[in-house]
Amino acid sequence: FEPAKAENTVTVSMTPDLLAKVKGEENPSTDILNFVRAEHTLVGRFQSSEVLDGEVMIRLESPAGSTDVWAMLDTGEIEVSSKPASTVSLINDLHRGKNAGTAWSWLIDISAITILILSIAGFILFLSIKSRLLTHLLLTAASLAVLILFIWIAV
């Protein structure tokens, strides 16, 4: 296993023009995020944002890691905390398709359909050998019984 990578925290100050602009908005997340992206490389895609008592919290997530952006509208300070994902976390998120995007979801779905079709083709070939049909049917019944037992135990 790979050790957890350190969280990287940076503080940035908003320009006076940006600060004046965002103070008048109900949810200034887009403007703040665009400003921070121009200054620093961020990890992740937009996940959520909240505005509470003069503070804006923006959350970015991806399989590669996450970034939290805290903007204080009274002082104009922005704190950016980025945390890259570990290798195990990256592989796990890609396996599940978590925060991975539409293209990755399509790849997962196409792979599952391909595996299902190949499995059915193999099962048909398995049952097509006439000389061992009884053995194959017994193995199929035993496999189904074990599968049903596992499902019964899991539920």
- Bridge partners of 72, per DSSP, are 55, 77
- Angle CA 104–65–106, to nearest 5: 5
84 backbone dihedrals φ, ψ, rounded to 5°:
-70, 150
Residues 21 and 86 occupy one common structural domain: yes
* Predicted pLDDT of residue 71: 93
Contact in structure between 41 and 23 (CB atoms under 8 Å): no
114 and 150 in a single domain? The answer is: yes
This model's pTM is above 0.85: no
Averages of pLDDT over each 10 residues, the chain, 155 residues? 70 90 86 91 90 91 92 92 90 87 91 95 84 86 94 91
Q: Write the CATH number for 79.
A: 3.30.160
Say what the pLDDT of residue 61 is: 92
Residue 130 and residue 75 share a domain: no
- How far apart CA 151 and CA 78 sit, in angstroms, is 50
Helix, strand or coil for residue 150?
helix
What is the structure's pLDDT at 4?
Answer: 58
Same domain, 58 and 130: no
Q: How many domains does the chain have?
A: 2
Structure tokens at 17: 């023009």
User: Does 63 lie in the same domain as 23?
Assistant: yes
Measured in degrees and rounded to the nearest 5, phi and psi for residue 76 equal 85, 10
How high is the pLDDT of residue 2?
Answer: 54
79 and 32 part of one domain: yes
**Together in a domain, 82 and 21:** yes
Q: Which of 50, 70, 91 is the last residue of a domain?
A: 91
- What range defines the domain where residue 129 resides? 101-154
Token couple for 28: 């200034």
